[in-house]
Structure 1
Amino acid sequence: MAEAAAQTVLDKISQGHLECPICCCRFKDPKILDCLHSFCLNCLENMIGKQKSESKKITCPVCRRETEVPDGGLQSLSSSFFLISLVDEIHKQEQLLGKALTTCATCKSCDEGHETVSRCLDCKTNICKKCQEAHQFLKYTKDHRIIPAEELDKSRVLPADISKSVESKCRKHIDQSLCFYCESCDILICSMCAATEHRTADHKYTAIYDAIGSFRKSVDDILQKFDKSKEQLASNGDSITHARKRLQKNLAQARSDISAKAEAEIAKIRKKAKLLNEKVDQIGLERDSEYEKVLMHNRSQMERADQIVTAVNDLMRQADDFELLELKPKVMHNLEFQKELKCEPAKVDMAFIGVTCQDVVSDTDLGKLLLKEKWQLKEEFGKKGNGDGKFQCAGAVKCFSNGDIVVCDTDLKRLSLFTSTGHFKTSIAQGAECHELDDPFSVAVNCDDLLFVTDKDKVKVFDKELQYVREFTPTVDDTEGRSESDLRGIAVDKQRVAVADRGRKVISVHNLDGSLITSTSNNMVKNDLAMCNKERLIFTNDKEKRLMCVDLKGNEVFNVMTLRNGKPVSPNSVMCDDVDGSIYIAVNFKRTGNGAVQHYGLNGKFIATVAQGLFNPFEMAFTPAGNVVVADMHSVKVFDRM
């Protein structure tokens, strides 16, 4: 079983590493192309021989990269000495295994039961004389390596160190070993070459040992750069993935907005149509009533006339002359009605009613596509002052799941709660009536609607009605002798709380109950802090004008200067969008009234300025609807992300 297992291992090594990708057999005189792929010399010659054009290049069948054919032909390509030695070693080990396997005296390639006379190293089986002849006759087996059984019995091959390469000889001076490397020509040379072709001053050559040391160092340096590039590519890949997710979300939102707008416009048209129909109906009723009055009047006149005519005719037929003369005054009086008889004419013009419809949906598009993110001010509440709903310094803001907005006024040392539309609800402040607050600075709200507040050296927790719940004191080891805490920025995710301690220059990460998970020291820690779903901590330093990102172990991910119009600008705060990993910072340029919000990518690359004209923006927060709330000194602004 040991021999069989060893044979299996050798087979796997041969198939995985020692077979030419063209002929799928073990390498024979392997040559290395510029792309570092190796092939049998004979396979390369056959391949270039099939090329129609007389090109001086050969294309690698694996990666399609081209290699210039040397003037000396494919034979002049570099040989893979490692593969040559490895193939030789595998052959030797298979011979040793072949000796152990020759105990089987009958052929295993046929059912004739003939005596074994040799072994095929490629088929890994013992064969008889007829099978050996068949091997040599068939096209697919004629190149197989066949060893007589007696040679296997006599072989005494000792394992070799496969790491040793074949001794390299000079191609020009075949009896000389290669011992130098000419850096000017990028070739290995022997001592004869050094004394003849490479002896002039423009040839710089060193001993192979020194050259390989320098070469390995150069390769290591470049490989490290490769690792950094791969990290950047991976980071960019994450950014692209997040950006695509955000794109899909925004596409869905855009389609929804278009449908909503269309439905709203259709509703408006239907409402206008209803109003116009009501006007038509009203005019129709009024005019029809007018016609009805005229018709009734005329009918009444006709009936009265018929009655008089009938009565007079009856009297004139039935009464005698004396009676007629006596009744003459009455008859003539009734006949006077004829003078009053008037027929109201039909007002034909009232029968016309029409409508001239206007183009409510004109050639103007239903909407305009926005191809770059831009925030549009939706509403604003608050003004400078000390009363309810007023601010001296609105420095921190966050939103609860019901849309309520909590604002921390760092000057008034007060927390205020507002509805999503800015109506004041309640507040708590420093003082005897509220022992829970001392000097609040920053706030954060988690998915369970717990409000976390940094308050000097403590983190205090409140519910969504600003009722006190609990508190904890972040405990971390002193850093560089600084022992006095000054808690500033705070950020939360589903299970953790991150706190920026400006006094100790430490960012600590805790469980929701306050127990410490980890901490990292950083001299740039200042006021604001954010966490992203990539296990990263992002913070700003307004003095140094930097935006920085570290992982939970403190390893720097990026550190960039914040600029506006090419000039350094102070960042006041930072927040992250977990949908696509985007980073937003509020900046203030030179003076109040010139604040803005900038958009950065997951890798710290500036993307765009999305909002301008703010007074002095500090903390920001996303609303449940995806809008953005900004604490802007004396007011709170709500932006639509267009």
Structure 2
Amino acid sequence: DNQLRMAEAAEATAKTMLGEISQGHLECPICFCRYKDPKILDCLHTFCLNCLDGMLSKQQPSIGKITCPVCRKETPVPDAGLPGLLDCFFLSSLVDEINQQERSLETQQQATTSPTCDECVEGLEAVSRCLDCVENLCQQCKTAHERSKRTQKHRVTPVEHPEQKEVPSADLSQTHSPKCQKHADQKMQFYCETCKMLMCGICATIDHRSADHQLSEIADAVRSYFEEVKYVLQKFQKSKEEFKANEESVEHARHRLKVMVTRACSEIQAKEEEEIAKIKNKSRLLRDKVIKIGKKRDEEFEKVHTNNKKKMERAEEIEAAVTDLMKQADDFELLNLKPKVMHNLEFQKDLQFDRVKHGESFIGVKCQDVVLDKDLGEILHKEKWKLKTEFGKQGDGDGEFNWARSVCCFSNGDIAVDDSNKNQVSVFTSTGQHKTTFDLNALYGISVTSDLLLANCEDHVKVFDINCQLHSKFNLSKPDAGDEPYIHTSDATVDNEHLAVVFNGQRMVTSLYNLDGSLIRDIASASICQEDIAISSKGRLIFTQYDSSILQCVEMTGKEVFAVRTSLEDKEATPAGVCCDDAGDIYVTFHCGPHTGSSEVHHYDSQGVYVDCVANKLLWPFGITFSPSGELVVADQNSVKIFHRI
């Protein structure tokens, strides 16, 4: 039973697979049935001959072309009509093979159930079949069948088990050899490259014997054909690689555009908040001024009120005293006090109240249109850079340089600069104000990750915190036995996972380290003499090769992405420092020519394609980095220059 079920499951699986193959590859796109007499059009799409004939009958006969229903490409109809189109022998053979396989499966499925007797009610297994009665017979019924006078002369044969029959399988490896249409008994033996057609030996001798016809045997023609196709497909493979690179460039451009749109919107939002803060501040100052004026005027009004109130209170006191006296004193006393009473009543002559300045009871405001009718800003359609600020000069004092080589930025905008001649690192504010300086012996490069400053010193890397206090230290790989102990290393750089990438100039090896100093691995295909290293947003390593004037990009695995020459327009341009923006574009400092003052900063896209010159007429720049606000910071030997987009 288990074997039977397994066999049934295998047969079902085979049927399903054959059905999928048929539906996916062996069905005509017009009738959706398996190909019958398949013909190939010029576009290499295949259809049944009858289907093409039906299509052609619906078109205008005078056109003489048939349009592919899949790609709409036209194919000329041969003089012999549609039957003259090329046959697809492979599909025909494959359809025959699938049909035979399905018949074989059907036969096997029928064989899994033994036939039963059609005579007896027990339904015993049939061992014979009567060809005259067309019935299956078990052993007992067969014996009775042979003994019966009515049926003893019937033709009884053993029951055939179809699974014992072998179904021949089509051999797809055999090459179909068509016959010549002119000479039916002749096989096609030659191919005329001039006429683009097969032919037999007779046709070759009679119709294609002139020097204009380029004949070759079938095997040679096929071999040449394969070579030609192989050559074209190899070129197409290069086109696919070019397409892939172009697609990556398009994807990068779209990503960079998205980054730039986000950044621009952030800058607009920041400007909005800045302007709103200014307006709020001016509003507060104006309100304070109004309140101050109102308070001063109210004090004047209160003073007038107080003075007038005092005068009235004094007058009311005199009035009350005189009134009481006139009611209570007798005539003699009143007459005696008359002079005093009349004297006190003279207050009425001088009783004058202070008048308030009513005009000062009004205070209003006439607000100005701060934004007016102008836009908040101007949209920049082309990237342009301009020098924003420069700090530092040649010298030995604080904030002065003998050779500003490497530069990097902390998240708060502070700028760290190493002076390779003075063996010092100086830290400045984002506006160039000197904060601190500390010594480092034999310094070869600095970088910042997660607000940790990595200083590459001979055979070790020191790690400092944002306050320039020593945080940790780890050693680099030692040189091989017999090598000099001195190891020259380039700038240490980090990626998003805070891993240090260090170039060992003694061993000519680029290595990936954890920040605790443990070596992760050496990076293959990166054993080149490097001037500087940067890591793009995609985690790729960008190298500058000063001596060979090459800008190179490799994956972390060491697989090369590109390597481009950096000399432009026949002008010498040797790359020095390198950095990447948030979108992955590359910015490189160049020494152009032997003289100082002619150096430049160039912009490349993520595929190493030159975009533009960002800055020129620099002294002798090396280190380059981006500030948190997106400004370009360049260590230019005796100073640090900060460029911003305009």
Structures share a fold, TM > 0.5?
yes
Following superposition, the deviation at residue 307 of structure 1 comes to 6.6
Counterparts of 1:210-221 in structure 2 under 5 Å?
A: 210-221=220-231
Following superposition, the deviation at residue 363 of structure 1 comes to 0.6
**Counterparts of 1:344 and 1:483, CA distance in 2:** 99
Which of 49, 52, 63 is the equivalent residue of 1:44? 52
**Counterparts of 1:30 and 1:336, CA distance in 2:** 137
Counterparts of 1:2-21 in structure 2 under 5 Å?
A: 4=11, 10-21=18-29
1:551/1:557 contact within 8 Å kept? yes
Deviations 1:389-428 (A, max 9, x none): 3221111123456665443222223344556665433412
Amino acid at match of 1:66: K
Amino acid at match of 1:274: R
**Counterparts of 1:424 and 1:365, CA distance in 2:** 38
Amino acid at match of 2:608: G
The answer for the alignment partner of 2:43 in structure 1 is: 35
Deviations 1:58-79 (A, max 9, x none): 44444x2413232434333322
Which of 511, 522, 526 is the equivalent residue of 1:509? 511
Residues 296, 202 of structure 1: alpha-carbon distance in 2 compared, 3 angstrom cutoff? same
Following superposition, the deviation at residue 359 of structure 1 comes to 0.8
The answer for the alignment partner of 1:168 in structure 2 is: 178
Which of 451, 461, 470 is the equivalent residue of 2:454? 451
The answer for the alignment partner of 2:607 in structure 1 is: 603
Deviations 1:192-212 (A, max 9, x none): 444455445544343333333
The answer for the alignment partner of 2:131 in structure 1 is: none
Following superposition, the deviation at residue 181 of structure 1 comes to 3.3
SS of the aligned residue for 1:548 comes to strand
Structure 1 range deviating more: 330-339 or 231-240: 330-339
Which of 59, 74, 77 is the equivalent residue of 1:67? 74
**Counterparts of 2:556 and 2:19, CA distance in 1:** 46
TM-score normalised by the chain length of structure 2? 0.75
SS of the aligned residue for 1:384 comes to coil
The answer for the alignment partner of 2:152 in structure 1 is: none
1:615/1:632 contact within 8 Å kept? yes
Which of 519, 531, 534 is the equivalent residue of 1:530? 534
Deviations 1:40-95 (A, max 9, x none): 22222223444589755544444x24132324343333222222222334445555
Equivalenced residue count is 590
Which of 432, 435, 439 is the equivalent residue of 1:428? 439
Amino acid at match of 1:220: K
Residues 619, 18 of structure 1: alpha-carbon distance in 2 compared, 3 angstrom cutoff? same
Following superposition, the deviation at residue 296 of structure 1 comes to 4.3
Counterparts of 1:624-639 in structure 2 under 5 Å?
A: 627-639=631-643
Residue identity over aligned pairs, in percent, reads 44
Residues 6, 468 of structure 1: alpha-carbon distance in 2 compared, 3 angstrom cutoff? closer
**Counterparts of 2:193 and 2:273, CA distance in 1:** 75
Structure 1 range deviating more: 372-381 or 627-636: 372-381
Amino acid at match of 2:549: K
The answer for the alignment partner of 2:544 in structure 1 is: 540
- Alignment partner of 1:25 is 2:25: no
SS of the aligned residue for 1:363 comes to coil
The answer for the alignment partner of 1:582 in structure 2 is: 585
Following superposition, the deviation at residue 101 of structure 1 comes to 5.2
Which of 174, 188, 205 is the equivalent residue of 1:178? 188
**Counterparts of 1:290 and 1:522, CA distance in 2:** 85
Residues 192, 602 of structure 1: alpha-carbon distance in 2 compared, 3 angstrom cutoff? farther
**Counterparts of 1:9 and 1:335, CA distance in 2:** 131
Listed as ranges, the gaps of 5+ residues in structure 2 are 1-6, 117-122, 127-133, 136-158
**Counterparts of 1:287 and 1:531, CA distance in 2:** 67
Following superposition, the deviation at residue 365 of structure 1 comes to 0.9
**Counterparts of 2:621 and 2:15, CA distance in 1:** 73
SS of the aligned residue for 2:461 comes to strand
1:628/1:639 contact within 8 Å kept? yes
The answer for the alignment partner of 1:491 in structure 2 is: 493
**Counterparts of 2:421 and 2:92, CA distance in 1:** 79
Counterparts of 1:357-436 in structure 2 under 5 Å?
A: 357-375=367-385, 380-400=390-410, 405-418=415-428, 423-430=434-441
Counterparts of 1:83-98 in structure 2 under 5 Å?
A: 83-94=91-102
The answer for the alignment partner of 1:462 in structure 2 is: 463
Deviations 1:169-228 (A, max 9, x none): 345555443333333444334444444554455443433333332332232233223333
The answer for the alignment partner of 2:141 in structure 1 is: none
**Counterparts of 1:419 and 1:483, CA distance in 2:** 38
The answer for the alignment partner of 2:4 in structure 1 is: none
2:326/2:334 contact within 8 Å kept? no
**Counterparts of 1:347 and 1:580, CA distance in 2:** 68
Q: CA RMSD in A?
A: 4.5
**Counterparts of 2:161 and 2:180, CA distance in 1:** 34
Structure 1 range deviating more: 387-396 or 8-17: 8-17
**Counterparts of 1:379 and 1:45, CA distance in 2:** 79
Structure 1 range deviating more: 187-196 or 602-611: 187-196
Amino acid at match of 1:558: F
SS of the aligned residue for 1:487 comes to coil
Deviations 1:285-319 (A, max 9, x none): 33333334334444555566677788889999988
2:526/2:554 contact within 8 Å kept? no
**Counterparts of 2:31 and 2:176, CA distance in 1:** 24
1:31/1:39 contact within 8 Å kept? yes
Following superposition, the deviation at residue 492 of structure 1 comes to 3.4
The answer for the alignment partner of 2:129 in structure 1 is: none
Structure 1 range deviating more: 222-231 or 521-530: 521-530
- Alignment partner of 1:348 is 2:358: yes
The answer for the alignment partner of 1:138 in structure 2 is: none
**Counterparts of 1:296 and 1:516, CA distance in 2:** 88
SS of the aligned residue for 2:301 comes to helix
SS of the aligned residue for 1:488 comes to coil
Listed as ranges, the gaps of 5+ residues in structure 1 are 108-112, 117-127, 130-148, 431-437
The answer for the alignment partner of 1:571 in structure 2 is: 575
